[in-house]
Amino acid sequence: MPWQECHKMDERLRFVARRLDGEKMAVLCREFEISRKTGYKIFNRYKDCGVEGLTDRSRRPYRHARQLPFQIEKAIIQLKQEHPSWGAPKLRERLRRKHSEVQCPAISTVHAILDRHGLVKRRRRRVYKAEGTLLSRPSSPNDLWCADYKGEFMLADKRYCYPLTITDFASRYLIGCEALENTRAMYAFTVFERVFKDFGLPAAIRTDNGSPFASANSLFGLTRLSVWWLRLGIDLERIKPGHPQQNGRHERMHLTLKQEATKPASKNFLQQQARFDQFISTFNQERPHEALNMRYPAELYSPSPRPYNGLPELEYPFHDRTITVTRCGRICMGPLKINLSQAFAGQRVGVKQVEEKIWLVSFMRYDLGFFDHETCRIESAENPFAAKVLPMSPV
């Protein structure tokens, strides 16, 4: 026998019909498993409204605590229509002076009313698009390092290896080649910190636009790794997407590395790293380079005179406030919570008021963007790392 479906409306009709036939309320309520209070309520609604009284009613409260009177909401909308360029702070002040006897709502409430009625203009956020930066061609060691991940390959134990390689641009000296399990930033931090301690700091580092060097979803493509480089006084150079030839010297080294140290792949990471270490020694001290007039890279390279001594303290004497970015990438300024970027988590930024309720956020010597009290959202400034078009020289 199939299950019988039970609908609330049908049950209520049966309940009322049997009550109209003269059955006792207590007996009916016990059979239908409802309280007598509910039974009387259903029956009284039927007597007052007929069958329509048995339908479900809205549970919405008749009144909302602290709900803004519709007259004030109407006045705010009317003021906005009269002054389309005014924001919530000015509209609230105008309303306060015009109706001094009425308690004015908060600025956030005024902004919410405008937003609800479609009276807030939303500016399109600048979406970061990787375009590359200006590229230098230095001739001295440590003026420019190049870094990249050689394409992953599988070891004999079925695990993938991601070699992180670092070279000096001028001397072609292979500074490091580390066998890593993935391209996560935490492993790259360890490699670069060890290299900085051994060889000092370069003036700039050139990379592609991939992780962990850059991010398509971050402000100006910055990541925690690239922000760390900036803190150390290292300039950023990025090649254009799809133009590996702009890092051609480094890619040419990858070809030699692939031929001499990855075919066939080793059994595990330890053995593969031993082959990389042997390759570094041979590449720098035994292999003549035609581009260097058959000299060895070790004959041209010398460590950087800039030692690695950790991060210097950041100060912003020309800004109104110095704020430490939270772990989730926010700037907390009183009641305001402004999303910046997780790339700056733990870093100190400078905040300076440039106009009424408009603030500028800076990191070191770079202006990152602006935010206001209404939206509390960063509008990025001009990309300080983008390639600049140089003016034409006079003839």
| Residues 326-340, mean pLDDT to the nearest whole number | 89
pLDDT at 393 (0 to 100): 39
Mean pLDDT over 132-140 rounds to: 87
Indicate whether 125 pLDDT > 60: no
Strands (E), the chain: 145-149, 153-154, 160-168, 174-180, 204-207, 235-238, 321-324, 330-333, 336-339, 348-355, 358-363, 366-372, 379-380
pLDDT at residue 274 tops 70: yes
- For the segment 174-179, the average pLDDT, to the nearest whole number, is 96
Reply yes or no on whether the pLDDT at 260 is more than 60. yes
Instruction: Return all residues near 277 (Cβ < 8 A) that are at least 6 apart.
Output: 177
- Separation CA 269–CA 265 (nearest Å): 10
**Where residue 283 falls among pLDDT bands split at 50, 70, 90?**
very high
Check pLDDT > 50 for residue 386.
yes
Q: What is the pLDDT of residue 250?
A: 94
pLDDT interval class at 58 (50, 70, 90) = confident
Q: Quote the DSSP letter at residue 220.
A: G
Query: What type of residue sits at position 60?
Result: R
Whether residue 358 is predicted with pLDDT greater than 60 in this model: the reply is yes
Provide the pLDDT confidence category of residue 293 given band limits of 50, 70 and 90: very high
Whether the predicted model's global pTM rises above the 0.75 cut: no
Answer whether residue 331 shows pLDDT above 80: yes
* Poorest-pLDDT segment among 25-34, 113-122, 139-148, 211-220: 113-122
Which of 55-59, 67-71, 357-361 is predicted most confidently?
357-361
Which of 12-26, 102-116, 149-163 reaches the highest mean pLDDT? 149-163
Binned at pLDDT 50, 70 and 90, residue 254 comes out as very high
Q: What is the pLDDT of residue 233?
A: 93
Judged by DSSP in three states, 2 sits in coil
Question: What is the gyration radius of the CA atoms in the chain, in angstroms?
Answer: 35
Mean pLDDT of the residues in the chain: 87
Q: Is the pLDDT of residue 100 over 70?
A: yes
User: For residue 32, what pLDDT band results from cuts at 50, 70 and 90?
Assistant: confident
Other CB atoms within 10 A of residue 14 CB: 12
On the 0-12 / 13-18 / 19+ scale of CB atoms within 10 A, 148 is: buried
Mean pLDDT, to the nearest integer, of 338-351?
92
184-225: per-residue pLDDT in tens? 999 999 999 999 999 999 999 999 999 899 988 888 889 999
